[in-house]
Structure 1
Amino acid sequence: MPSRFHSDRLKALCTEGGWSQADLAERIDSDVRQASRYENNKVAPGLEAVIRIALTFNVSVDDLLIDDERATVTNVIDALVTKSKLRAITSGVG
């Protein structure tokens, strides 16, 4: 089942760190079966799990996401920044 999560990136990070799936599971507060599912692209981790994985490996969340998802996240951030700027501009008017 394809996902927007880079399971190959997760595998590479674990390999680089010399971590087993049990090590990964412990560090991201999960279980071994779930860590295996993430690594083998059987299931995509939810947002909270992606954040835990990113923090664990000291990488950004977008390093773990496929480009389409990265573009969506970027668009949401851009929209929030624009909204904040507009609020700042309009709060001074009036």
Structure 2
Amino acid sequence: MATPFHGDRLKALRTEVGRSQAELAERIDSDARQVSRYENNKVAPGLEAVLRIALTFNVRVDYLLIDDAQRRPLNATSSHVDTRLADLDQLTDDERATITNVIDALVTESKLRAITSGVG
């Protein structure tokens, strides 16, 4: 039976920071053999281990468990814009398309302004 845990993502995170399985095991209160089992999808870590892994690599838990989850930081500084972007989920598709068009127009205007200000 397949586990929902993404061992390949754990291995990629570990190698990205240059840690051995033993070093990771120490950080998450486990052992190297167990980390190997996690990475090879032999067993799925328990909830506490998943949380320790997420904290160790500053990634959201969903990235470790859900196929199409994007890698996002667990501890990201929130900004006013982030909060507003989260609110977009409450809008209809047409309303989101309108906002996207406004953003595109503003960005295009800004780029044109930058180009034309250099011409003289």
Give the TM-score category using the shorter length.
0.5 to 0.7
When the two structures are superposed, what TM-score results if normalisation uses the length of structure 1?
0.68
When the two structures are superposed, what TM-score results if normalisation uses the length of structure 2?
0.54
Matched, 1:16 2:7: no
Matched, 1:7 2:4: no
Once the two structures are superposed, residues 42-73 of structure 1 have per-residue CA deviations (whole angstroms, 9 ceiling, x without a partner) of 000011100000000011111101249x7xxx
Aligned to 1:60: 60
Greater RCO (CA < 8 Å, at least 6 residues apart): 1
Residue 3 of structure 1, CA deviation: 0.9
Runs of 5+ consecutive residues of structure 1 not aligned to the other structure:
71-94
Residue 32 of structure 1, CA deviation: 1.0
Q: Which amino acid aligns with 1:60?
A: R
Q: Which amino acid aligns with 1:40?
A: N
Count of residues in correspondence between the two structures: 69
Superposition RMSD on alpha carbons, in Å?
Answer: 1.6
Runs of 5+ consecutive residues of structure 2 not aligned to the other structure:
70-120
More helix by share: 1
